[in-house]
């Protein structure tokens, strides 16, 4: 059976809109606050399972996931509404996965260098201790696939775009407005990477948001590519 349902804008009663709006503010406040504390004071322990930074990262993602789940229940959304619908065919997500990867390669090669000098390179220096440490590499990859690969796409693509579209209303531009706003928010939560990092992640958020829409609001290709990019990055750090 094909999945045809989608979250329609302007269908929520006032009390549910209030819950959704409050949840969005809470989700972003939690994320900004924990990220600031984590990357300002505890970034050196983010790859250690006994470190404060590691557990702050876990707590941040757990709280955001809980907020999304509560809203899913309150809004009577299914997991399919949140991007986890089974593909109706395999050729389309495969083509989108390839196109998404090639687009990101071009973005990284030709666009990101325009503001490379504005990126805070210290933002990823916290990962230097995985160099030559296979156990830390494996733990980091598992955590990244769960938090960045899966949860970021679930939260900042499927949930955030759907939620924002509810408030923008039923119009021809509401969906694309939601994609644009979600991309800016995604960029701002990476403020610890500096202005260049904000610009880069905003651009990446826009690319992933467009891919999410084109793929019929499914996030499977996004999860795979996000996890793949993080894996390549981590292996490069491990081998450096």
Residue 9 has pLDDT above 60, yes or no: no
Residue 52 has pLDDT above 80, yes or no: yes
Residue 95 has pLDDT above 50, yes or no: yes
Phi, psi dihedrals of residue 58, rounded to the nearest 5°: -65, -45
Rounded to the nearest 10 degrees, how much is the dihedral formed by the CA atoms of 41, 200, 47, 63? 80
For residue 2, the number of C-alpha atoms closer than 13 Å in the C-beta half-sphere is 5
The pTM assigned to this predicted structure is 0.92
Contact 221, 93 (CB under 8 A): yes
Residue 115 has pLDDT above 60, yes or no: yes
Give the pLDDT of residue 228. Answer: 96
Q: Which residue has the higher pLDDT, 103 or 240?
A: 103
Q: What is the residue whose two structure tokens read 């403020």?
A: 191
Give the pLDDT of residue 89. Answer: 87
> Would you list the DSSP string of 163-213?
HHHHHH-SSTTHHHHHHHHHHHHHHHTTGGGHHHHHHHHHHHHHHHHHHHH
> Would you list the DSSP string of 86-150?
PPS-SHHHHHHHHHHHHHHHHIIIIIGGGGGGGS-GGGGGGGGGGTT-HHHHHHHHHHHIIIIII
> Domain ranges in the chain?
14-239
Overall average pLDDT of the 15-37 stretch? 91
Question: Which of the four pLDDT bands, split at 50, 70 and 90, describes residue 47?
Answer: confident
Overall average pLDDT of the 130-142 stretch? 92
pLDDT single digits (tens) 56-82? 999 999 999 999 999 999 888 999 999
Share of the chain above pLDDT 90, in %: 72
Overall average pLDDT of the 170-188 stretch? 92
Q: Which residue has the higher pLDDT, 1 or 7?
A: 7
């Amino acid at each position: 059976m094909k999945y045809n349902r989608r979250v329609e804008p302007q269908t929520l009663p006032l009390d549910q809109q209030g819950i959704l709006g409050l949840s969005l503010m809470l989700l972003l406040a939690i994320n900004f606050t924990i990220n600031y504390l984590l990357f300002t004071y505890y970034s050196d322990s983010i790859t250690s399972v006994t470190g404060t930074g590691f557990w702050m990262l876990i707590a941040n993602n757990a709280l955001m996931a809980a907020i999304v789940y509560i809203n899913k229940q309150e809004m009577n959304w299914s997991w399919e509404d949140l991007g986890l619908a089974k593909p109706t065919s395999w050729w389309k997500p495969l083509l989108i996965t390839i196109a998404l990867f090639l687009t990101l390669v071009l973005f990284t090669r030709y666009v990101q260098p325009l503001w490379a000098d504005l990126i805070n390179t210290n933002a990823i220096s916290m990962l230097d201790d995985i160099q030559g440490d296979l156990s830390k590499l494996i733990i980091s990859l598992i955590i990244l696939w769960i938090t960045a690969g899966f949860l970021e796409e679930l939260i900042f693509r499927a949930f955030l775009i759907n939620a924002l579209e509810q408030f923008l209303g039923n119009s021809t531009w509401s969906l694309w407005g939601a994609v644009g706003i979600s991309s800016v928010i995604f960029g701002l939560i990476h403020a610890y990477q500096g202005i260049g990092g904000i610009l880069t992640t905003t651009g990446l958020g826009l690319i992933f948001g467009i891919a999410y829409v084109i793929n019929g609001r499914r996030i499977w290709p996004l999860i795979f590519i996000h996890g793949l990019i993080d894996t390549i990055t981590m292996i490069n750090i491990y081998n450096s």
